[in-house]
Structure 1
Amino acid sequence: MLKNIAAVLLDNVHPFELGVVCEVFGIDRQADGLPGYDFALVAAESASVRAVPGFTISTPYGLDRLAQADLIAIPVGDDFHTRDFPPALLAALREAVGRGTRVLSVCVGAFVLGAAGLLDGRRCTTHWRYADALAERYPQARVEPGVLYVDEDPVFTSAGTSAGIDACLHLVRKLQGSEVANGIARRMVVPPHRDGGQAQYIERPVPEYQEGGVREVLAWMAQHLDQELSVEQLSARAYMSPRTFARRFRMETGTTPYRWLLAQRVLSAQRLLENTGETLEVVAARTGFANAAALRHQFVRSLNTTPNAYRRAFRGSSG
């Protein structure tokens, strides 16, 4: 269920990252056929919260509002990697997760979840600049530096600003389906899906090419998910050697051709499971998996659920 969302405000909150959460969940898009959310800003300290760079945000909601939330979002603040947090907030977060509420952090908002003990024994991430500090401060957390976001349901952590968008849309996709996530992404004019395991940043710009190139091959791959695609075949389309293509693919996308292709195939399978009554064998064939067993294996590995369970959640039938 994803209906009631609360964003927690602490002093020195960054308005851009707060805006990410507000944009995904706080805008009424019901006229576009998308679900509405009961969204609230919650002050963790005083009703008037200082925001960087020097204005204040006022809200009538205090920590008691968290008791109603299906999702609690923690946007980044200026000194979150060094400061202490209100004990009442940390207790409220622990209680919320204990009753099944999901929590999501943007950037160093992960330090709040760490202080509440919610990262202990869990995979997590934060902005690459603060990954070492997060691991040092919370040694029981399994910090994965460099990735965009980590889904350790009910705890979701993400890196910098754009990765916060990715994590929010991933959560929407997981709970409400690809059509809802894609609809929100279209309104925001952002990519509807990036795999959480992609790199947070690219070392250097990728040069433009006269013909072919990685960007053209990406579009072609997306149209041919049902085919066997090798690096040799893809590199030939890009007019590169396999080694050069693999290197430049990672530079541009932050991941390998295999991982990118696998993520797109799972994503395509999600859409088919949501919107058609095709059998698992047909879905597998249309999305490039050898058979239903291979589809099921990758689905569980990527989404921690089976294709049939996923279809039941979104279509109310076993398929």
Structure 2
Amino acid sequence: MHRIGYLLSDGFQIMALATQAVFEYANETAGSPFYTMEHYSVEGGEVRSSIGLAVGTRAAGPRTQADTWIVAGVSDPVAMPARPDVLAFLRKAAGRARRVAAICTGGFVLAQAGLLDGRRATTHWAFAREMEARFPDIHVEADRIFIIDGSLWTSAGMTAGLDLALGMVEKDLGAEVARSVAHKLVMHQRRAGGQSQHSEMLDLAPKSDRIQNALNYARQNLTRPLTVEELAAAVHLSARQFSRVFTMETGQSPAKAVEGLRLEAARLMIEQSRHSLDVIAKETGFRDRRHLREAFVRGFGVPPQAVRREARSGA
């Protein structure tokens, strides 16, 4: 039996508890209760989340043990630093546990406890620079879904905690169980930790349905040249009107946005597949692997081979 203890403090983000569904379905898939879960706080009793929902907890004392500790984040780790008794408990618990994990800004709690010194870690992208500035001994990698460094696991914000939990299931019970759990949770893909937190579609954030539909059309037809005229026709606008509205809503030209979508798709294929760069270039609309490499270096600062090596190393 693998015991998981969720360490909660007032103001914790309720999304952290969504990861319990991953372990619940892992038990169901495995056919036996491999995981047990319990909520803890240093004082015990009710702890309120950031939206005011009260959750009952057991007191975490000197003899409290768990195989895995998961620390929930708070909405603002700078304004709400961890209490000294929480940090003292974590320092002792880390020495007895198989692993310690932090979801979202929970990484700041591990950092304050000194557990991340000299290690790689990630957190919500909005607080990554703050973590880097406050804790210079930590190798912060802001553009990662989750990171495993020895027995310490850290994840990016919100839904990335589900990916971290699935990573634990894969490590404990194997890839087939993790795939089954992801399928039951209707997760359209199981993201490896090395994937980027960045989403080109979210960054563009168009305001109208027409421009959103044009972007969806582009993403579904990346193998095509995708001229302004084609995108405009797909949403029943003239090319001139489409270019004007697109730039006004997204802050980018259609050509620049399409290149961003191509790069995002190429990066996913590089991280997740074994296809050659020639195949990936063709599937994502680049002329050839040389064109793909030039765009990759321009967009990400590294060649595609470096991203593939890092993804395989992380796996």
Q: TM-score under structure 1 normalisation?
A: 0.68
> 2:83 — aligned with what?
86
> 1:201 — aligned with what?
198
Q: Which one of the candidate residues 172, 176, 181 is aligned to 1:175?
A: 172
> 2:5 — aligned with what?
6
Q: Distance in 2 between matches of 1:88 and 1:222?
A: 41
Q: Which one of the candidate residues 41, 52, 60 is aligned to 2:50?
A: 52
AA partner of residue 55 (structure 1): L
Task: Quote the offset at 1:46 in angstroms.
Answer: 4.6
Distance 1:235 1:53, change over 3 A: same
Q: Which one of the candidate residues 101, 104, 108 is aligned to 1:104?
A: 101
Distance 1:221 1:135, change over 3 A: closer
Q: Which one of the candidate residues 19, 22, 36 is aligned to 2:20?
A: 22
Task: Quote the offset at 1:50 in angstroms.
Answer: 1.2
Post-superposition Cα deviations, 1:91-112, rounded to whole Å, max 9, x if no partner, equal: 2211122224311111110011
Q: Which one of the candidate residues 132, 157, 181 is aligned to 2:154?
A: 157
Q: Which one of the candidate residues 118, 130, 144 is aligned to 2:115?
A: 118
Post-superposition Cα deviations, 1:165-211, rounded to whole Å, max 9, x if no partner, equal: 11111122123211221122122111553232221122346633447
Q: Distance in 2 between matches of 1:25 and 1:192?
A: 17
Distance 1:171 1:90, change over 3 A: same
Task: Quote the offset at 1:85 in angstroms.
Answer: 2.1
Q: Distance in 2 between matches of 1:191 and 1:185?
A: 8
Alignment check: 8 A CA contact 1:42 1:63 kept: yes
Task: Quote the offset at 1:130 in angstroms.
Answer: 0.5
131-140 or 24-33, which deviates more: 24-33
What CA RMSD, in Å, does the superposition of the two structures yield over aligned residues?
3.7
Task: Quote the offset at 1:258 in angstroms.
Answer: 4.4
Q: Which one of the candidate residues 181, 184, 187 is aligned to 2:184?
A: 187
Distance 1:211 1:14, change over 3 A: closer
Task: Quote the offset at 1:13 in angstroms.
Answer: 1.1
Q: Distance in 2 between matches of 1:222 and 1:77?
A: 30
Task: Quote the offset at 1:133 in angstroms.
Answer: 1.3
AA partner of residue 127 (structure 2): Y
> 1:234 — aligned with what?
280
Post-superposition Cα deviations, 1:266-310, rounded to whole Å, max 9, x if no partner, equal: 6xxxxxxxxxxxxxxxxxxxxxxxxxxxxxxxxxx445xxxxxxx
Is there any run of 5+ residues in structure 2 with no aligned partner, and where?
205-214, 225-261
Distance 1:166 1:260, change over 3 A: farther
Task: Quote the offset at 1:63 in angstroms.
Answer: 0.6
Alignment check: 8 A CA contact 1:44 1:86 kept: no
AA partner of residue 5 (structure 1): I
Q: What's the secondary structure of 2:219's corresponding residue?
A: coil
Post-superposition Cα deviations, 1:202-227, rounded to whole Å, max 9, x if no partner, equal: 234663344747699899999984xx
102-111 or 182-191, which deviates more: 182-191
2:82 equivalent to 1:36: no
Q: Distance in 2 between matches of 1:79 and 1:216?
A: 32
Alignment check: 8 A CA contact 1:66 1:92 kept: no
Distance 1:179 1:230, change over 3 A: closer
Is there any run of 5+ residues in structure 1 with no aligned partner, and where?
267-300, 304-319
Q: Distance in 2 between matches of 1:53 and 1:250?
A: 42
AA partner of residue 117 (structure 1): G
